[in-house]
């Protein structure tokens, strides 16, 4: 390598590594990804895409930094000072290109590696790991750095790079399903949705090479930048055409739009196991979570009397959007494609345990709403039993209530309260929680519950009627149901 | 390496205005001052000699190299130190970073040697204490000194300085004169200035440049004697067209025809320069 060029590359690399924009956005990218994913189990199918998307934030910083570095020698009279120096402008441009792209690529790869290291903490990963997705993301960050240099040479002016960043952000949001974008966003309605093939990486590399060549061509048409541009454009066209015409691009998952699908939410949950009398079905790439579900379900089932375990609901995984099979809903519990970790697992375990407890005590499944407003299970003894069953895994918590103003049929105005709890759209009060806690602390609670099970889970049995059966006294006043009582 | 600058029939025009018109010039080692009014073409000449600007016609031979030839021009640029009239320094660099950058662009690839060279030139211009200060925080005089330091990086054989003492305080200007005097012992130093006292103190040779032409080429004493017998001191303000100004003693110094009570005084370089310009104006008129 020409020695002045090498020294210049090192100089520019040190500047890029110390650039406050780059450093700040690198920290923001890593911090944001870590923060948003810390309490979520990793799903490689999603996390690879989300991480490749997130590093585009760093890419924006790399574009701004490389743009400023290149504009340096045309600002404030510096051009006059540098004009009589032996190292020419094209060498300076090439040095900034090499330095900026190298730093952008290395930093983005480092951020990805650090982030994935954090994903492994306390995790049971699922999904399909696609290294190509990550490599393409890194290449795209390098492309953005190269674009900053090209902009500085062809459109010198401080505003060009920020405007370009805004245009790219707009395009990402405006055309989310287009497979020629830097990162094709995840289509969360489909599990293991088809991802762009290897041709997308070729397309990305072609873009990087082309922009690199365009930046250098500003200093005159020469053999190697011209050749590089031709090669880059060939790769762009080839890779782009093969990407958009690939089987993956025309697959149903790629064409399904967000929020609308004719597929059942459980379609594809074909990996099934029966463990301790409970049938678990997950999407094939999520099978590693079945033991986690079992850990949240087994204690609840074991705490119910044997007679209540004869018809246990199945645990069938679902996606977050799609159609529900109304016939099947009452016989299945449907955990979705997320699970917590690092403290977040408490809510996941509690939710699944409560759904099984609700099924055992006759509550409607969480995915069914008896009425638009849900139902009110206050002053029902089965509510206490359901919360006690839930407490075998995690302590039950208060429902969340939202209030809204509505117009009554008589024309007047009223307030509608909607409760959401781990039992579904089921409301309950402090008395129920307090009694469940007492039961959990009582050594003979299970014996009493098993002895009077049928009475206790009857929707018509009130708490007052249940207290002597449970051997408890009620210290907290029992509220009467405010809405439609749960049947 | 031939330590000389030879210019033959150099011409340059901007639109209808000729800023260099068949200029012939020779410069040898030593400090040569270039004096002239604004718009005379001094900066254009310096830019051509620095290979920043190509002339329209004519030949140049600088340190034995022809700047019209690509390969020789690159070699020549390794030997030139150039301070432009408005040295654009990157405000977000520190002084040391700026000089390090210049050193790399002058093909100094060894990092340790570059660091030593940066220290050396910063010491020359008394900016060692500001080596890690951002340029945007430097005063105007400090920036000017940094620009001079940039021109000295690499120990060039031909140093071109356009208005180098602008913004320097008297002490700094004295220090700068000492530096240039030392450099002039072995190098070709060409400086453009409006400061006739700098020319008088430091230049062995003065070229007065006007409207693209050399109207004087000689030593400072010779320039001063262009006004020989034409410089007067008088108590009353002159009433004619002569050039005059009020001195600190409260008298008037007149360059031109003798006022009625004028006493002859010894001419200075400035007197000679003003007289020369006045005569050139009269000829044109």
In chain B, the domains with their CATH numbers are 1-79+167-219 (3.40.50.300), 88-155 (no CATH), 223-284 (no CATH)
The residue of chain A nearest to residue B147, with distances taken between CA atoms, is A81
Residue A412 has what pLDDT? 82
One domain, residues A219 and A282: no
pLDDT of residue A190: 56
A429 contacts A415 by C-beta, under 8 angstroms: no
Q: Does one domain contain both A309 and A391? A: yes
Across the interface, whether the CB atoms of A4 and B105 are under 8 A apart is answered yes
Last residue of a domain, one of A205, A222, A255: A255
Label each residue of A108-159 as H, E or C.
HHHHHHHHHHHHCCCCCCECCCCHHHHHHHHHHHHHHHHHHHHHHHHCCCCC
Range of the domain at A150: 3-255
SS (H, E, C) chain B: CCCCEEEEEEEEEECCEEEEEEEEEEECCEEEEEECCCCCCHHHHHHHHCCCCCCCEEEEEECCECCCCHHHHHHHHCCEEEECCCCCCCCCCEHHHHHHHHHHHCCCCCHHHHHHHHHHHHHHCCCHHHCCCEHHHCCHHHHHHHHHHHHHCCCCCEEEEECCCCCCCHHHHHHHHHHHHHHHCCCEEEEECCCHHHHHHHCCEEEEEECCEEEEEECHHHHHHHHCCCEEEECCCCCCCCEEEECCCCCEEEECCCCCCCEECCCCHHHHHHHHHHHHHHHHC
Q: For residue A14, what are the contacts with CB-CB under 8 A and spacing of at least 6?
A: none
Do B31 and B78 form a contact (C-beta atoms < 8 A)?
A: no
Per-residue pLDDT, A374: 81
Q: Which conformational region is residue A437 in: left (phi greater than 0), alpha (psi within -120 to 50 degrees), or beta?
A: alpha
Per-residue pLDDT for A372 more than 70?
A: no
| Structural domain includes residue A299 | yes
Both A278 and A249 in one domain: the answer is no
Pairwise CB contact (< 8 Å): B88 & A78: yes
**What gap in Å lies between CA A40 and CA B270, rounded to an integer?**
82
In A155-289, which ranges are continuous DSSP H helix?
Answer: 160-174, 198-217, 223-244, 252-255
**pLDDT recorded at residue A452:** 96
Choose among A6, A80, A86: nearest Cβ to B88: A80
Residues counted in chain B:
285
Q: What is the mean pLDDT of residues A89-116?
A: 96
Closest CA to A161 of A302, A61, A22: A61
Burial class (CB in 10 A: 0-12, 13-18, 19+), A109: middle
Q: A69 and A212: one domain?
A: yes
Are A185 and A284 in a shared domain? no
pTM for this model (two decimals): 0.86
Is A323 inside any structural domain? yes
Q: Is residue A475 part of a domain?
A: no
Asked if A87 lies within 8 A of B105 by C-beta distance, the reply is: yes
Which of A225, A255, A285 is the C-terminal boundary of a domain? A255
Q: Is B165 exposed, middle or buried (0-12, 13-18, 19+ CB in 10 A)?
A: buried
- Which one of B50, B78, B147 has the shortest CB-CB distance to A86? B78
Quote the tokens at residue A404.
Answer: 């809204």
Q: At what angle do helices A44-71 and A89-119 cross, to 10 degrees?
A: 150
Task: Pick the more confident residue, B277 or A217.
Answer: A217
The pLDDT assigned to A371 comes to: 47
- Residue A14 at interface with chain B, using a CB cutoff of 8 Å: no
Interface of B with A in 61-90 (CB under 8 A): 74-75, 77-78, 80, 82, 84, 86-90
pLDDT confidence of residue A49: 86
Q: How many CB pairs under 8 A join A and B?
A: 72
Instruction: Give the rounded percent of residues in chain A with a pLDDT score beyond 90.
Output: 64
Cβ pair B32, B94 in contact under 8 A: no
CB contact under 8 A, A11 and B91: no
CB contact under 8 A, A7 and B104: yes
Confirm or reject contact between B144 and chain A (CB < 8 A).
no
Q: What is the pLDDT of chain A when averaged over all its residues?
A: 89
Q: Is residue A262 part of a domain?
A: no
Residues of A in contact with B114 (CB under 8 A): 7
Residues A88 and A213 occupy one common structural domain? yes
Partner residues linked to A272 by β-bridges: A281
Contact between chains at A81 and B107 (C-beta distance less than 8 A): no
What pLDDT is recorded for position B236? 83
User: H or E segment at A273?
Assistant: strand A271-275
The secondary element (H helix, E strand) that includes residue A419 is strand A413-420
Res A193: pLDDT:
67
Nearest by CB to residue A81, choosing from B51, B84, B107, is B84
Do residues A121 and A36 touch, judged by C-beta distance below 8 A?
Answer: no
B73 to chain A: closest CA residue:
A86
| Helix, strand, coil percentages for chain A (3-state, nearest 5) | 55, 10, 35
Q: Do A84 and B77 touch (CB under 8 A)?
A: yes
Contact across the interface for B88 and A92, Cβ inside 8 Å: no
What is the structure's pLDDT at A191? 66
User: At what angle are helices A198-217 and A223-244 packed, to 10 degrees?
Assistant: 150
Same structural domain, A109 and A198: yes
Query: Looking at the predicted structure, is the pLDDT value of residue A55 above 70?
Result: yes
Q: Which of A332-341, A437-446, A477-486, B115-124 has the lowest mean pLDDT?
A: A477-486
In angstroms, the separation between the Cα of residue A226 and the nearest Cα of chain B is: 22
Query: In the prediction, which pLDDT does B3 show?
Result: 84
Contact state of B90 with A78 under an 8 Å Cβ cutoff: yes
Above 80 in pLDDT, residue A326? no
For residue A8, which residues of chain B lie inside 8 Å, CB to CB?
A: 104-105
Q: Indicate the number of domains in chain A.
A: 2
Non-local CB neighbours of A454 within 8 Å, separated by 6+ positions = none
Would residue A407 count as lying in a domain?
Answer: yes
**How many Cβ atoms from other residues are within 10 Å of residue B263's Cβ?**
12
Share of chain B above pLDDT 70, in %: 99
What residues in A contact B166, CB-CB < 8 Å? none
Same domain, A361 and A439: yes
Residue A152 pLDDT: 96
Tell me which of B53, B71, B105 to substitute to probe the interface with A (most A C-beta atoms closer than 10 Å): B105
The span from the CA of A339 to the CA of A345, in Å, is 6
Decide if B88 and A76 are in contact by the 8 Å CB cutoff. yes
Least-confidence region, from A37-46, A109-118, A184-193, A251-260: A251-260
How confident is the model at residue B177, as a pLDDT? 86
Structure tokens at A246: 């690939």
**Is the pLDDT reported for residue A260 higher than 60?**
no
**Angle at the Cα of A426 from the Cα atoms of A421 and A428, rounded to 5 degrees:** 85
Is the Cβ of A158 closer than 8 Å to some Cβ of chain B?
no
Among A118-127, A274-283, B235-244, which is the least confidently predicted range? Answer: B235-244
Quick check: A118 pLDDT over 50? yes
Rounded CA gap, B194 and B166, in Å? 9
Cβ separation of A6 and B109 shorter than 8 Å? Answer: yes
Residue A189's pLDDT band (cuts 50, 70, 90): very low
My answer on whether A198 and A287 are in the same domain is no
Candidates A4, A72, A78; nearest CB to B104: A4
Q: Is the pLDDT of residue A258 over 60?
A: no
- Cβ contact A79–B88 (<8 Å): yes
Whether residue A479 lies inside any domain: the answer is no
Sequence length of chain A is 487
pLDDT at B281 over 90: no
Looking at the complex, report in whole angstroms how far the Cα of residue A57 sits from the nearest Cα belonging to chain B: 24
Could you tell me if A330 and A435 lie in one domain?
A: yes
- Asked if residue A246 and residue A283 are part of one domain, the reply reads no
Dihedral sign computed on CA atoms, order B149, B153, B157, B159: negative
Show the tokens assigned to B230.
């034409």
pLDDT tens string B20-62:
888 899 999 999 999 988 888 899 999 999 999 999 999 999 9
Task: Please tell me what DSSP assigns to residue A363.
Answer: P
pLDDT, chain B, mean: 89
Distance, in angstroms, between B71 CA and closest chain A CA? 10
**If you search the block for the tokens 């650039």, which residue do you land on?**
A19
Tell me the nearest-neighbour CA distance from B51 into chain A, angstroms.
6
Q: What is the mean pLDDT of residues A385-404?
A: 94
Q: What is the mean pLDDT of residues B202-231?
A: 89
Inter-chain touch B102–A81, beta carbons under 8 Å: yes
State the pLDDT at residue B1: 65
Region A37-63 average pLDDT? 92
> How many of the other CB atoms lie within 10 Å of CB of A52?
27
Same domain, A211 and A335: no
Q: Judge whether A260 lies within some domain.
A: no
ipTM: 0.88
Q: Best of B50, B51, B86, B107 to disrupt the A interface by mutation (most A CBs within 10 Å)?
A: B107
Three-state DSSP at A33 gives helix
Q: Is residue A264 part of a domain?
A: no
What are A400's strand-pairing partners? A420
Tell me how far CA of residue A197 lies from CA of A109, A133, A221, A255, B257, in angstroms: 20, 9, 34, 15, 92
In the sheet where B213-218 sits, what is the strand order?
Answer: B80-83, B158-162, B188-192, B30-35, B205-210, B213-218
Å from B173 to nearest chain A CA?
22
Q: For residue B2, with 0-12 CB atoms within 10 Å meaning exposed, 13-18 middle and 19 or more buried, which class applies? A: exposed
How far apart (Å, rounded) are the C-alpha atoms in residues B140 and B133?
Answer: 14
Q: Are A267 and A321 in contact (CB under 8 A)?
A: no
Which of A6, A76, A85 faces B105 most closely, judged by CB atoms? A85
A86:B106 CB<8 A: yes
Contact B77 A85 (CB under 8 A): yes
Assess whether pLDDT exceeds 50 at residue A151.
yes
Q: Tell me the mean pLDDT in the region A371-377.
A: 73
Does the beta carbon of B106 lie under 8 angstroms from any beta carbon of chain A?
yes
The confidence band for B129, taking pLDDT boundaries of 50, 70 and 90, is very high
- The reported pLDDT for the residue numbered A187 is 56
**Residues A4, B109: C-beta atoms closer than 8 Å:** yes
Distances (CA, A) of B103 to A20, A379, A439, B123, B155: 25, 85, 81, 16, 10
Count how many Cα atoms sit within 13 Å of the Cα of residue A361 in the half-sphere of its side chain: 33
């Amino acid at each position: 390598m020409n020695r002045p060029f090498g020294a210049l590359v090192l100089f520019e690399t040190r500047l890029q590594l110390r650039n406050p924009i780059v450093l700040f956005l690198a920290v923001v990218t890593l911090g944001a990804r870590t923060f948003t994913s810390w309490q979520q189990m990793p799903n490689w199918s999603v996390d690879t895409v989300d991480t490749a998307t997130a590093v585009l934030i760093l890419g924006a910083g790399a574009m701004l930094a490389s743009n400023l570095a290149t504009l340096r020698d045309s600002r404030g009279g510096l051009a006059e000072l540098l004009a009589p120096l032996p190292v020419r402008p094209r060498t300076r441009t090439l040095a900034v290109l090499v330095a900026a792209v190298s730093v952008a690529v290395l930093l983005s790869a480092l951020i990805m590696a650090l982030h994935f290291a954090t994903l492994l903490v306390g995790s049971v990963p699922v999904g399909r790991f696609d290294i190509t997705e990550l490599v393409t993301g890194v290449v795209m960050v390098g492309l953005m750095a190269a674009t900053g240099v090209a902009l500085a040479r062809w459109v010198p002016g401080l505003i060009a790079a920020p405007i370009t960043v805004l245009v790219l952000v707009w395009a990402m949001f405006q055309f989310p399903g287009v497979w020629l974008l830097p990162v094709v966003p995840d289509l969360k309605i489909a599990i293991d949705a088809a991802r762009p093939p290897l041709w997308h990486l070729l397309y990305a590399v072609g873009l990087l090479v082309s922009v690199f060549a365009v930046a250098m061509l500003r200093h005159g048409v020469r053999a190697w930048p011209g050749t590089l541009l031709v090669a880059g454009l060939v790769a762009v066209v080839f890779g782009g055409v093969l990407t958009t015409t690939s089987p993956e691009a025309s697959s149903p998952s790629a064409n399904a739009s967000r929020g609308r699908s004719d597929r059942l939410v459980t379609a594809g949950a074909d990996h099934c196991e029966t463990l301790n009398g409970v049938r678990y079905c997950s999407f094939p790439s999520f099978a590693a979570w079945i033991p986690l579900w079992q850990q949240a379900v087994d204690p609840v089932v074991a705490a119910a009397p044997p007679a209540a375990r004869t018809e246990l609901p199945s645990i069938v995984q679902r996606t977050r959007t799609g159609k529900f099979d109304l016939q099947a809903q009452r016989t299945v519990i449907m955990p979705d494609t997320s699970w917590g970790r690092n403290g977040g697992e408490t809510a996941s375990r509690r939710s699944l345990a409560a759904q099984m407890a609700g099924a055992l005590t006759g509550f409607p499944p969480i995915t069914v709403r008896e009425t638009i407003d849900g139902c009110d299970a206050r002053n029902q003894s089965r509510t206490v039993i359901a919360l006690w069953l839930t407490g075998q895994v995690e302590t039950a918590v208060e429902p969340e209530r939202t209030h809204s103003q509505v117009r009554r049929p008589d024309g007047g105005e009223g307030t509608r309260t909607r409760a959401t709890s781990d039992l579904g759209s089921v409301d309950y009060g402090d008395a129920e929680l307090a009694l469940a806690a007492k039961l959990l602390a009582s050594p003979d609670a299970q014996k009493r519950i098993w002895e009077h099970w049928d009475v206790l889970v009857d929707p018509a049995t009130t708490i007052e009627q249940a207290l002597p059966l449970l051997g408890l006294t009620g210290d907290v006043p029992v509220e009467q149901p405010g809405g439609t009582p749960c049947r | 390496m031939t330590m000389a600058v030879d210019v033959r029939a150099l011409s340059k025009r901007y639109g209808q205005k000729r800023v260099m018109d068949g200029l012939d010039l020779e410069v040898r080692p030593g400090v040569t001052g270039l004096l002239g009014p604004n718009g005379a073409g001094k900066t254009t000449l310096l830019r051509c000699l620095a290979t920043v600007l190509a002339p329209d016609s004519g030949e140049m031979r600088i340190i034995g190299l022809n700047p019209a030839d690509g390969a020789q021009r690159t070699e020549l640029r390794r030997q030139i130190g150039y301070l432009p009239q408005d040295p654009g320094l990157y405000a977000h660099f520190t002084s040391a970073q700026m000089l390090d950058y210049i050193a790399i662009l002058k093909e100094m690839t060894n990092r340790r040697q570059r660091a030593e060279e940066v220290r050396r030139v910063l010491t020359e211009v008394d900016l060692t204490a500001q080596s890690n200060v951002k340029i945007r925080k430097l005063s105007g005089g400090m920036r000017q000194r940094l620009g001079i330091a940039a021109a000295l990086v690499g120990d060039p054989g031909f140093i071109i300085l356009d208005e180098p003492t602008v913004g320097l305080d008297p002490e700094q200007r004295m220090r700068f004169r000492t530096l240039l005097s030392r450099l002039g012992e072995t190098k070709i130093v060409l400086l453009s200035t409006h400061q006739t006292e700098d020319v008088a103190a430091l230049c062995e040779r003065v070229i007065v440049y006007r409207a693209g032409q050399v109207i004087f080429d000689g030593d400072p004493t010779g320039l001063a004697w262009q006004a020989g017998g034409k410089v007067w001191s008088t108590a009353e303000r002159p009433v004619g067209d002569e050039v005059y100004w009020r001195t600190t003693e409260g008298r008037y110094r007149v360059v031109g025809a003798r006022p009625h009570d004028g006493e002859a005084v010894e001419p200075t370089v400035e007197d000679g320069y003003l007289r020369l310009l006045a005569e050139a104006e009269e000829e044109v008129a």
